[in-house]
Amino acid sequence: MRTRANINLDNDAYSVATAFAAARGIALGAAISELIRRAEQAPELPLEASPKLKRDRHGILIVKAAGPVITSEMVQEESEDDLG
């Protein structure tokens, strides 16, 4: 069964999908379907396997904070110090 859908992809995801489709000689929709199926079948690594990853409250993997947060104000202040 096939379902027609309009979707928005991030530029990097679109690039991967189109390159995958071109390399396989298949349509973009078929490539996206195959990539989704592969991701679904891939074994899920335990979080302990990567100490830099954690899950947010929605279950999405994100990179753990590795140090102090640098704000745009801090960058601007340092840039002004370098100019003066």
Q: Does the residue 42 lie in any domain?
A: yes
In a domain, 3, yes or no: no
- pLDDT score at 47: 54
Residue 82 Rama label (left phi>0; alpha psi -120 to 50; beta)? alpha
> pLDDT at residue 83 above 70?
no
**In the numeric block, which tokens belong to residue 2?**
């096939």
Please compute the mean of the pLDDT values over residues 7-17 and round it to a whole number: 92
State pLDDT tens for residues 31-68. Answer: 999 999 988 887 776 655 666 777 778 777 777 777 78
Q: What is the DSSP string of 36-70?
A: HHHHHHSPPPPGGG-TTEEE-TTS-EEEPP-S---
- Is residue 75 very low, low, confident or very high in pLDDT (cuts 50, 70, 90)? confident
Distance (Å, rounded) from C-alpha 6 to C-alpha 20? 19
The pLDDT assigned to 34 comes to: 94
Would residue 31 count as lying in a domain? yes
- Domain assignment of residue 70, given as a range: 11-83
Number of domains in the chain: 1
**Going by C-beta distance under 8 Å and a sequence separation of 6 or more, which residues neighbour residue 34?**
20, 24, 26
pLDDT attached to residue 8: 93
